[in-house]
């Protein structure tokens, strides 16, 4: 899942779509016998932990464009077919760029004394001793081949180098390091204070927190006043922007100076937990910093970016702090690092896994109810809570419906997305191809789209009117506590009725609030009902989200069974309604 707080802060754009009037219609609820079948299969015959085990422990990390992710695509397609779903296939999107795999890594301090450190390379980081393999020209018929020299030995993937702590926070400070960083291992971050965890990381929503969600106002009715130029909030925004741009300048300086490796401190976590994502690419900073967000720039998965990067890793705070303090005390520190990576340039496309339970009502079977979650992950763990959990819940939901023998009126389509961690790319590409898009205005993250600005316009795709709703799960391993309605008040009577059979499972809260950072936004953006479930945090933000601790053992089995059962009931009842699920009135 994308960083929710960051994305949420950027979702300030109200999409301009036609206003529709919502007619009052009776609320459909499935017969109790059908819900009982769903509960029986989901809670007493669950297969969800088997699915989670295979995705995480057998397949492993699923970085976008990696071979592991393609393996997951194929395995989920074949598994859904085995369960009786139809039209199971991989749908390509892209081109994305190159894949990346970590082949070997170790890091330790070797002087003034030796000790290993906990660290992890950033995704798409170059390795040491990179080698370009050129194709060999075929021999010409009738000519004797010339003797060729023995192939050169592969360059070493290990370096030993001095560590330099870049204690600079502005351009004047950086100037002091000019000419001193070439071939060095450069520590980029400051130290971070760690405190004892007296409360514990695990957390379920309290009654008060759920009440606050339920009482939240309609997000479209909240008037956002302009921030006065001299207000504290404006000053804080400017300070955050300055620190962001200064960080970009520091990264570019170190890369341009020829550092052997860049190391940063895990920005949160303790006890050896590392939060790590993608490598940084040296980028030119425009005169107006705000232009940085709309200009085209290289991503680390672009082939051209390799020349603008150096090897990079994130280190656990305990080890990072220790080394910085050694340097500050006057010690000369050396490290030995072995880093071998492989770039994959054979297929620039990435794939979503799609499968269906066909509808049975001749009048409604061409309409579709969708559910899903993203299958790609970051690379330091095995992507268990982010988001093998959501994938497994969606897969288990359709398995439950098939095993229970239920016959949906509408077609139910499961979509397992990829490229979510790089900006919801897989779901956005799917929605654009099949359902529609917004032309002009700001993009899905609230950033102005490039080119001449124009009034936002909805361009409907071939299936726009056929999609009833989309349900997403991507908030970790916590059980479902309710639904974010994304400002769609018309959803309330349906969701209230559909949660009623699950009140004894602690699922009761409905909030008009929007939630961001995951694939339901691709649907919500163009006016199609797209929903994310409220889930207990458990230890998602504190321990597992994008970290090396995002592994199978952090999964709560009972929570996952509950979530799959509720998702199955929601999807089934949406498929059984006489009318399409109501769409929220959109602002003119």
Three-state SS for 309-350 is CCCEEEECHHHHHHHHHHHHCCCCCEEEEEEEEEEECCCCCE
Domain boundaries, the chain: 4-96+350-576, 99-129+156-198+226-344
Residue 20 has pLDDT above 50, yes or no: no
pLDDT at 241: 78
Residue 287 has pLDDT above 60, yes or no: yes
Model confidence pLDDT, tens digit, residues 66-85: 999 999 999 999 999 999 99
Residue 59 pLDDT grade (very low, low, confident, very high; cuts 50, 70, 90): very high
Which residue, chain included where needed, has tokens 């163009």?
526
pLDDT at 450: 58
Inter-residue contact 519 to 373 (CB < 8 Å): yes
What's the average model confidence in pLDDT over 118-122? 99
Alpha carbon distance 204, 586 (integer Å):
33
What's the average model confidence in pLDDT over 277-306? 87
What's the average model confidence in pLDDT over 303-320? 97
Which residue, chain included where needed, has tokens 């660290």?
119
Inter-residue contact 135 to 144 (CB < 8 Å): no
Nearest Cα to 318, choosing from 278, 272, 281, 280? 272
Residue 138 pLDDT grade (very low, low, confident, very high; cuts 50, 70, 90): low
Per the CATH hierarchy, to which homologous superfamily does domain 4-96+350-576 belong?
Zn peptidases (3.40.630.10)
Indicate the CATH number for domain 99-129+156-198+226-344: 3.50.30.30
Alpha carbon distance 181, 193 (integer Å):
27
Q: What value does the mean pLDDT of the chain take?
A: 90
Q: Are domains 4-96+350-576 and 99-129+156-198+226-344 of this chain identical in fold?
A: no
Could you say which DSSP state residue 181 is in? -
Alpha carbon distance 479, 562 (integer Å):
6
DSSP codes joined into one string, 141-164 = TTSPPPP-PPPPPPPPSEEEEEEE
Alpha carbon distance 474, 515 (integer Å):
11
Model confidence pLDDT, tens digit, residues 551-581: 999 999 999 999 999 999 999 999 999 999 9
Q: What is the pTM for the complete model shown?
A: 0.90
Per 3-state DSSP, what percentage of the chain is helix, strand, and coil (rounded to 5)?
A: 35, 20, 45
Could you say which DSSP state residue 203 is in? B
């Amino acid at each position: 899942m994308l960083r929710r707080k960051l994305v949420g802060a950027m979702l300030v754009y109200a999409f301009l779509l036609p206003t529709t009037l919502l007619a009052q219609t009776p609320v459909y609820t499935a017969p109790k016998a059908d819900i009982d079948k769903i509960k029986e299969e989901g809670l007493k015959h669950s297969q969800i932990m088997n699915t989670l085990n295979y995705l995480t422990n057998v397949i492993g990390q699923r970085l976008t464009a990696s071979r592991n992710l393609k393996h997951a695509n194929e395995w989920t397609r074949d598994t859904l077919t085995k369960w009786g779903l139809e039209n199971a296939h991989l749908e390509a999107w892209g081109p994305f760029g190159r894949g990346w795999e970590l082949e070997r890594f170790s890091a330790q301090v070797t002087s003034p004394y030796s000790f290993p450190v906990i660290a992890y390379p950033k995704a798409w980081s170059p390795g040491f001793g990179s080698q370009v393999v050129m194709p060999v020209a075929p021999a010409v018929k009738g000519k004797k081949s010339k003797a060729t020299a023995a192939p050169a030995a592969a360059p070493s993937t290990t370096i030993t180098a001095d560590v330099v702590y870049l204690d600079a926070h502005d351009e004047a400070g950086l100037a002091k390091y000019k000419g001193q960083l070439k071939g060095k291992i450069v520590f980029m971050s400051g130290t971070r204070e760690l405190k004892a965890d007296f409360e514990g990381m695990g957390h379920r929503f309290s009654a008060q927190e759920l009440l606050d969600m339920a009482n939240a106002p309609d997000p479209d009715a909240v008037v956002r006043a302009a921030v006065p130029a001299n207000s504290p909030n404006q000053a804080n925004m400017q300070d955050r922007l300055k620190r962001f741009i200064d960080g970009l300048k520091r990264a570019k300086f170190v890369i341009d100076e020829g550092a052997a490796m860049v190391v940063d401190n895990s920005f949160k976590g303790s006890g050896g937990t590392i939060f790590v994502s993608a490598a940084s690419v040296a980028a030119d900073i425009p005169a107006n910093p705000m232009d940085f967000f709309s200009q085209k720039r290289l991503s680390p998965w672009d082939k051209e970016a390799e020349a603008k990067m150096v090897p990079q890793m994130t280190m656990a705070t305990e080890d990072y702090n220790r080394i910085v303090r050694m340097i500050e005390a006057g010690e000369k520190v050396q490290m030995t690092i072995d880093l071998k990576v492989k770039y994959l340039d054979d297929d620039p496309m990435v794939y979503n896994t799609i499968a269906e339970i066909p509808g049975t009502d001749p009048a409604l079977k061409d309409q579709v109810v969708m559910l899903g979650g993203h299958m790609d992950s970051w690379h330091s763990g095995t992507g268990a809570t982010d988001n093998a959990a959501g994938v497994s819940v969606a897969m288990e939901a359709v398995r439950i419906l098939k095993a229970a023998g239920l016959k949906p009126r509408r077609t139910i389509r499961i979509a397992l997305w990829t490229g979510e961690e790089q900006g919801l790319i897989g779901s956005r590409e799917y929605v654009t191809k099949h359902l529609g898009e917004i032309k002009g205005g700001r993009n899905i993250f609230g950033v102005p789209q490039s080119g001449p600005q124009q009034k936002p316009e909805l361009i409907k795709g071939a299936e726009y009117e056929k999609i009833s709703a989309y349900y997403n799960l991507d908030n970790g391993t916590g059980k479902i506590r309710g639904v974010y309605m994304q400002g769609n008040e018309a959803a309330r009577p349906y969701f209230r009725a559909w949660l009623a059979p699950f009140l004894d499972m602690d699922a009761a809260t409905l909030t008009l609030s929007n939630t961001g950072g995951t694939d339901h936004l691709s649907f919500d953006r163009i006016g199609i009902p797209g929903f994310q479930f409220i889930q207990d945090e458990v230890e998602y933000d504190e321990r597992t989200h994008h970290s090396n601790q995002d592994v199978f053992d952090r999964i709560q089995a009972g929570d996952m069974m509950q979530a799959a059962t509720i998702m199955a009931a929601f999807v089934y009842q949406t498929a059984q309604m006489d009318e399409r699920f109501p769409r929220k009135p959109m602002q003119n």
